[in-house]
Structure 1
């Protein structure tokens, strides 16, 4: 498609979005004709007549018992549930130690309904059953705009890392460099506990590998986020919510786990929480000691150049890693008044990784004769101390459920990285003198953000959201590489390699604002949003090459949901998004694996923009079929190419292609096969096509692929639960790469005992060891294939003990805060 045509499409798309938003003045009056909301009110008490506090009262659709609204009763046992008038509902009430209550079906009138007083009868047997079966959240929940994975209750999460649980989530995959993808597409916004993770690619994978799954409450997967989220992340958003104790009074928990694959993996931690009516003070800490390996088998073919003959090589590389991490979070929430909440929190994650890599490479000439043998040993010591603080304020302007709300967040984060390298290389055929390369790499990233959001409910179930955010980022990166000369230690001299010891600085300022209008008609929900972002970027390489960018872009989004009848609903979403290159993808500083390969950024890398379209159908509120298309301009993909230095060293870096066309069909089926067996099945079929050119290699490649995920949950006798998870990824295309099929099967059991205070978990992952990855990259002048194996077949035992008050209070609804400022700071990690 001609570039001028794309510009016209972009301009037209943005004008249409402006009209949609300006047309809010038209949508609001239409909403006036929408169906009114009404309230169901009542009280819940004991058989003796005393009001019961903190009873869970739920409003269900009468047709299929799907929960519409849930609330807790107050101190007097009163409750209030709002929903659309004119529909048929059921009301349920449950509390530990009492029989569950169900009301007769009722039609909710526009004037509201008052239920007769509800009396709960004590029943210890029923209470225990509710705790062990009905009280547990399903592992997967399919909501209107996202998929929720409730990690906290999964026995497979014991002893795992956050990267492990994401790898088992439906539609989440990783390529040969551990870059995460959602529905087969890369370019994600990752939000951890309301804050954006400042990493991409392998650095993001290392960060998530350092974060124990024991700290994670849930994961949310959103393919088309609203305008309130940053425009970064063409493929969507992954939200990782950490655990937070909601029990009243003083509470604590301790957890410990040990897993064994080829090496050991130990996790220990705990949490403290003190909560009363107007105050919540909390803290968590986890220590992680993990040892693992990565093993590569490379095959490479170098075509002849004017200075070098054609060569092929075979190589075996083995890397041992030991990682020690300490992660902690402390926070304080205060009710300044009945409607004003103030929160402050601080998080920290320190990671110390040491690795030893041995590599043996054999190079052969055209005739098959051995031309060179290169043996190298690489030692690296990487320290990553990271920290962030947040201050947030939320104020509700009235006690009514339809009151306006304003929230503000201020964040400051600092990420440091210190990498020490020692690379010894020996050429044995022909014999050459040994060489030693040492490196001292240090980087610091500072990020400051300020954000404000305002939500104004409008008459008749409409809502207007507004917000603005300012982000300031400064990244300072310095590297000094030394080459050792001399034969004996007395002759050693270290010479600075000035051509690769270049400082790199990056400064970015993004000013953003958004407006979003949501209207709920009788059977239709409409949400239109527009986000504007002004970016000011300056990249400075060695003080000699300066690159500046200043641009403003609009990112419209539209979501329409329509209920056809009680069993069928349709949804349509359209959005424009952007992916700016990460700092690692831009920085030319080198990170060595061994003597034959290193990774480096591409100083000339440009942002990629995408248009995303999706239409979905939902049957009976749970079976979903979704068709989607995305077109990305200037997509960046990972490449492997011979170094321009003229040697046989391979460089891994990102480059821009011309276009990417991506078509998907997604089928989701949550099934209750028996009373105790739940299956969540997910099928994703997609066609991925890349077009572009790298040097003399013209790429026009597409392939049909599929991902299958099946998670089985079982309620076993005597309070045991079990989980069986499996996924399969077919052969797929990723730019110049072709990734072969792979899969995994994991199983786990769990037992809760000692009056729900203790939990024991036992799991086994990658039981058949089917996750090793095979990747082939093909270019006109070079071809590479590799086979990667990792320490993923692990058996883990875990124990958790909770003590303190078991009384639960309603959780404070926290704002996302600076949820989207931090993704692309990879070089400092």
Structure 2
């Protein structure tokens, strides 16, 4: 259904472009800034039929601000002019007759910043859901009604090119290894723990999401598929102002998310802060079917039919406070303190039917699993920015300190039953305590030096130092009390220092834009596994230097067509916890374990793009990743145990074609379409065998924004992902449709948003693995279908805009910490 709608709208739209060539009349005009009368070049001008508000054509103003629509049939029309940072404006009705040329006159666009100084700050600034810049895609979270009452992870799911797997791991254009940044600083989280934070962060706390598939040398080289930067809300106006948002979400269980944002600026001092509170309550319904075969004859011997129902509940509280000091017009110094607490609870019941080859149950294992955790974080940032002159010459410094304390208390009780559920043998009980402490220290400097003739040099240094201490204690309940299980208990200490330097040069030469950069990173790591009675004390040391070049070339063929090509090399280091050889049990036959032998993976990325008319972008991408690490399933067939771990398994090649378009269909309907076809291939050694897997995946995303009179608006959006692969796992198709309705209230100071997510309960993961002795089918269902009601209110006085605040410099390290939570 979603693909049919996408193809239909695309066909109708492009048909209009093709048929427009045979029309006769013409419309001309020009665009200026209504405040200072300056010319606005590259403004987007859309032509609509007056009769039904259907889109006829889109054009761009030239460098003189002039525009011209040719071959227009007789009839009545109107124009819509838009430009980044300006309020859109409409022309009067235009009547085209025969071969006449109609002059639409001068269309005046008003700057957003100037408009804010003259109007009530409480009137919301309308932004498009998606903005595309030369080096990034920007998602304006509040612009989509169905984002109300959701989380950061759910917003990412509907962003172009972004996919989220069954465990909450984020991929970009079909590739895992995304570096997630928070306000320009690395989150230092990864894997399941990053997913836990994103699941608990309310969307009401987020202003924008920036997606960069091939960042410049200025950014950390981490993240083989690119960078996603989540920018939290910060008010940028003088005086006292802010906003409050409260929301309730109802699925099978009730949830809530709430936020408060405050800002006060007077004289040289600016104070800001925000507080977020969310409560989450849901479930995970997991089904696993495993077939064990004879290693020699390959005949079926045993079937494990496993059903697991897990509840999860948790609270997420985040507080950020800071101050900016404007020493003078050229120098700003600031401090930011933030932290969160995230207690959670995951009780679950796992029932496994152990069957013979004839599918007859021999015995039953019932595992009651309790997992109570807490993740606390504190971070501090000092930043300084000095502008030497008005040419853009600038120097900045960031110093960061972050600490995470995480703990999990696990209790696993296994009951062994006969087919009639009578007791077969005595139960066993395993208790685990898993505390972890992570400390991160980071400092960076950046210098920007403009050159003559549109040239610019950027250079900088960064150094980070990370320590992690993980001490897992497992105990078996015996007649003599709890006794330490030496085989599972582990104490792992890890230290890492990364030093980096970069140089980046950019210049505009007529129609060509050039940018080239080089980043060097020196990594020094030490791991120490403390010995016990079952294993000797062991340690490892790693020291290596890597170079990461980036090149970007763009060519503006004419006012409608721009071409670009870019290349970049990136690294993806293992998450700190993935290096720890710890266990996490679903039952005694199913568990997860870390891997101290994980190595970094390296990726070479190439992208070729074409943009037409500022609204249609086509991208061809290719990447080659060496030493790929990913989740793999392994099996101890003789013991009928299956476990998940991470391993460096293969060389991965990925190439794809992406097409995106953002355009007004009528005066009240705007559509954004994103489609992506990806082909993945894995080749390499795995568990004594050779893995050779490849597959093609289609991903489509559509968002329709509707605007009505009297403050009403609506949204209908959805996505579809076809069958695909991720390492060993073959993933079945998945799709989702959302809808929402919004009403501006209280003289535009407030808004009410009602949305329904995953209307048809179709976003459920299923997949399978068939590799060597492993034959596994997995199906997973979460509390995805829900309705949310959110009320937001803006308050404060409008004075004038201030400079943007510096947001910190620690980036790669934070994205590799896993925090506890739901």
User: Which residue of 2 is the match for residue 670 of structure 1?
Assistant: 662
Q: 1:584 aligns with which of 558, 573, 577?
A: 577
Task: Answer yes or no: is the 8 Å Cα contact 2:210–2:230 preserved in 1.
Answer: yes
User: Which residue of 2 is the match for residue 823 of structure 1?
Assistant: 815
Task: Answer yes or no: is the 8 Å Cα contact 2:186–2:810 preserved in 1.
Answer: yes
User: Which residue of 2 is the match for residue 603 of structure 1?
Assistant: 596
Distance 2:496 2:572 in 1: 14
Shift of the 674–463 alpha-carbon distance from structure 1 to 2, 3 Å rule, reads same
Distance 2:685 2:715 in 1: 46
Distance 1:558 1:767 in 2: 44
User: Which residue of 1 is the match for residue 150 of structure 2?
Assistant: 160
Q: 1:638 aligns with which of 631, 641, 654?
A: 631
Q: 1:405 aligns with which of 367, 375, 394?
A: 394
- Offset at residue 94 of structure 1 (A): 13
- Offset at residue 818 of structure 1 (A): 2.1
SS of the aligned residue for 2:156 comes to helix
SS of the aligned residue for 1:529 comes to strand
**2:50 maps to 1:60:** no
- List runs of 5+ in structure 1 lacking aligned partners: 1-41, 45-54, 67-83, 103-114, 487-491
User: Which residue of 2 is the match for residue 709 of structure 1?
Assistant: 701
Q: 2:160 aligns with which of 170, 184, 196?
A: 170
Task: Answer yes or no: is the 8 Å Cα contact 1:583–1:827 preserved in 2.
Answer: no
**Matches for 1:538-577 after TM superposition, within 5 Å:** 538-543=526-531, 544-577=537-570
User: Which residue of 1 is the match for residue 434 of structure 2?
Assistant: 441
Shift of the 192–130 alpha-carbon distance from structure 1 to 2, 3 Å rule, reads closer
Task: Answer yes or no: is the 8 Å Cα contact 1:426–1:433 preserved in 2.
Answer: yes
Q: 1:800 aligns with which of 788, 792, 795?
A: 792
**2:488 maps to 1:500:** yes
User: Which residue of 1 is the match for residue 415 of structure 2?
Assistant: 426
User: Which residue of 2 is the match for residue 69 of structure 1?
Assistant: none
**Matches for 1:3-14 after TM superposition, within 5 Å:** none
Shift of the 519–450 alpha-carbon distance from structure 1 to 2, 3 Å rule, reads same
- List runs of 5+ in structure 2 lacking aligned partners: 1-31, 47-60, 68-80, 93-105, 532-536
User: Which residue of 1 is the match for residue 23 of structure 2?
Assistant: none
User: Which residue of 2 is the match for residue 514 of structure 1?
Assistant: 502
- Number of residue-to-residue matches in the alignment: 736
Map Cα deviations across residues 349-383 of structure 1 (whole Å, 9 max, x no partner).
Answer: 11010111101101112343323210011111100
- Offset at residue 468 of structure 1 (A): 0.4
SS of the aligned residue for 2:501 comes to strand
Task: Answer yes or no: is the 8 Å Cα contact 2:121–2:796 preserved in 1.
Answer: no
SS of the aligned residue for 2:222 comes to coil
User: Which residue of 2 is the match for residue 298 of structure 1?
Assistant: 288
Shift of the 665–364 alpha-carbon distance from structure 1 to 2, 3 Å rule, reads same
CA RMSD of aligned residues (A): 3.1
Q: 1:275 aligns with which of 252, 255, 265?
A: 265
Shift of the 191–753 alpha-carbon distance from structure 1 to 2, 3 Å rule, reads same
Task: Answer yes or no: is the 8 Å Cα contact 1:60–1:89 preserved in 2.
Answer: no
Map Cα deviations across residues 191-211 of structure 1 (whole Å, 9 max, x no partner).
Answer: 011221112221111111111
Shift of the 132–758 alpha-carbon distance from structure 1 to 2, 3 Å rule, reads closer
Map Cα deviations across residues 534-590 of structure 1 (whole Å, 9 max, x no partner).
Answer: 000111112512111000010000000111112111100011111111112211111
Shift of the 720–57 alpha-carbon distance from structure 1 to 2, 3 Å rule, reads farther
Distance 2:467 2:408 in 1: 19
Task: Answer yes or no: is the 8 Å Cα contact 1:97–1:128 preserved in 2.
Answer: no
- Offset at residue 279 of structure 1 (A): 1.8
Distance 1:355 1:244 in 2: 34
Distance 2:664 2:471 in 1: 56
- Offset at residue 268 of structure 1 (A): 2.4
SS of the aligned residue for 2:426 comes to coil
**2:379 maps to 1:388:** yes
User: Which residue of 2 is the match for residue 51 of structure 1?
Assistant: none
Distance 1:677 1:529 in 2: 41
**2:515 maps to 1:527:** yes
Q: 1:780 aligns with which of 766, 772, 794?
A: 772
Distance 2:776 2:760 in 1: 27
Q: 1:144 aligns with which of 134, 146, 167?
A: 134
Distance 2:177 2:393 in 1: 34
- Offset at residue 156 of structure 1 (A): 1.5
Task: Answer yes or no: is the 8 Å Cα contact 1:92–1:101 preserved in 2.
Answer: no
Shift of the 268–658 alpha-carbon distance from structure 1 to 2, 3 Å rule, reads closer
Task: Answer yes or no: is the 8 Å Cα contact 1:291–1:322 preserved in 2.
Answer: yes
Moved more, 772-781 or 57-66: 57-66
Distance 2:639 2:456 in 1: 62
SS of the aligned residue for 2:562 comes to strand
Q: 1:696 aligns with which of 688, 693, 696?
A: 688
Moved more, 151-160 or 207-216: 151-160
- Offset at residue 304 of structure 1 (A): 2.9
Task: Answer yes or no: is the 8 Å Cα contact 1:625–1:665 preserved in 2.
Answer: yes
**Matches for 1:288-367 after TM superposition, within 5 Å:** 288-304=278-294, 310-367=301-358
Shift of the 534–284 alpha-carbon distance from structure 1 to 2, 3 Å rule, reads same
User: Which residue of 2 is the match for residue 758 of structure 1?
Assistant: 750
Task: Answer yes or no: is the 8 Å Cα contact 2:312–2:344 preserved in 1.
Answer: yes
Distance 1:148 1:512 in 2: 27
- Offset at residue 649 of structure 1 (A): 2.9
Task: Answer yes or no: is the 8 Å Cα contact 1:730–1:740 preserved in 2.
Answer: yes
Distance 1:566 1:462 in 2: 22
Shift of the 495–575 alpha-carbon distance from structure 1 to 2, 3 Å rule, reads same
TM normalised by structure 2 equals 0.85
SS of the aligned residue for 2:424 comes to coil
Task: Answer yes or no: is the 8 Å Cα contact 2:144–2:705 preserved in 1.
Answer: no
Moved more, 772-781 or 168-177: 168-177
**2:448 maps to 1:455:** yes
User: Which residue of 2 is the match for residue 536 of structure 1?
Assistant: 524
Map Cα deviations across residues 754-778 of structure 1 (whole Å, 9 max, x no partner).
Answer: 1221111111000001101002112
Moved more, 247-256 or 565-574: 247-256
Q: 1:234 aligns with which of 213, 224, 237?
A: 224
SS of the aligned residue for 2:157 comes to helix
